Amino acid sequence: MLKRLIALAFFFAGLSLFWLAAQSATAAPPAQEMKGDATRGDYIFAAAAGCGCHMGQAGFLAGGQEFDLGPLGKVYARNITSDPETGIGNWSEADIVTAIRTGKTPDGKLLFPVMPYMTFSGMADQDAYDLAAFIKTAPPIKNTVPADQLTIEAPPFNPPAAPATAPTEGVARGEYLVKNVSDCSGCHTPTDAQGAPLPGKFLAGSFVEGEVTANITPDEATGIGKWTEAEIANLLATGKRPDGSAVTGLMLQVVEGGFSKLTDADRLAIAAYLKTVPAVNNVPQAPQLPATGGNPFNVPLFAGLLAIGGILLLSGAFVWRSARRTK
């Protein structure tokens, strides 16, 4: 009896080993951590308009640019060079991708959405890792950036699931670049006092960093509805409008630092998509100065008060002299 039990034990042990062997043969290999390609990342960097917010006098990607948000406070562009002390030299590619797409830093903080992570949340996996790989090649520059001075907390953000791959051609490619990489809305869509995009005004022109930005919807009266796709693509390549005039300021910066480096196919894809967005009749303008008070002051009110004050002073002097003569 004992021998039979021992035989059964060996029998079942053998079957178990056969089963484990079969499982190991068919099991999927362990998942490999995604890695970025810095050469491809250089192109995504250009499509992202050269991350212009982080450019400044301190050097390439060394940050320091101030964004005055009025009553909400001030935000400063971070130093994203590979300097380990004042930059992000200690961050991994995965850390950078998380910050790009969710706004969360390795220490758990949530960046204020002047950093367009809500836009970048739709960036495809490989594009995001390629961009991170390129950013890690930025030479270290020691530049301590001031801490943000905010009166409110960054709003909570639950990013959607990012796509594994990006569209490769046509209108779909253009939409992907405009909405998830180039952040065209960040400059061309007007916002309310809290920075939220105004409904129905997508890409209808705004006021950013002291500059009026163009209405780039297909509206023929106030936008670029009369431009051909080739003319839109040419502006992205050269900075020249169809009438021969040249863009300046922020748009010139993003053309020279980014869009001029894209392929013809990607510029035409952006142009094709811009032709499909809803036309909005809107003439973007700088915000009006306050009617009273504030700085600069109300000039008509100030001049009026001076005039009335002068009249009262003269009247007082006349009465004073008349009183002396009657004594």
Q: What pLDDT, in 10s, does the model give residues 169-224?
A: 999 999 999 999 999 999 999 988 767 789 999 999 999 888 999 999 999 999 99
Domain coverage including residue 70: 38-274
- Contact criterion met (CB below 8 Å) for 143 and 10: no
Instruction: Note whether residue 170 is domain-resident.
Output: yes
Q: What span, in angstroms and rounded, lies between the C-alpha atoms of 120 and 178?
A: 11
Residue type present at position 234: N
Q: Total domain count for the chain?
A: 1
The confidence score (pLDDT) of residue 245 equals 97
Instruction: Note whether residue 240 is domain-resident.
Output: yes
Residue type present at position 292: T
Q: What pLDDT, in 10s, does the model give residues 247-298?
A: 999 899 999 989 999 999 999 999 999 999 999 999 999 876 544 444 444 5
| Number of neighbouring beta carbons within 10 Å of residue 59 | 17
Instruction: Note whether residue 230 is domain-resident.
Output: yes
Task: Report pTM.
Answer: 0.77
Instruction: Note whether residue 123 is domain-resident.
Output: yes
DSSP letter for 179, please: I
Instruction: Note whether residue 114 is domain-resident.
Output: yes
Instruction: Note whether residue 27 is domain-resident.
Output: no
Q: What span, in angstroms and rounded, lies between the C-alpha atoms of 324 and 313?
A: 17
Please report which helix (H) or strand (E) contains residue 309, including its range.
Answer: helix 299-325
Instruction: Note whether residue 60 is domain-resident.
Output: yes
Instruction: Note whether residue 252 is domain-resident.
Output: yes
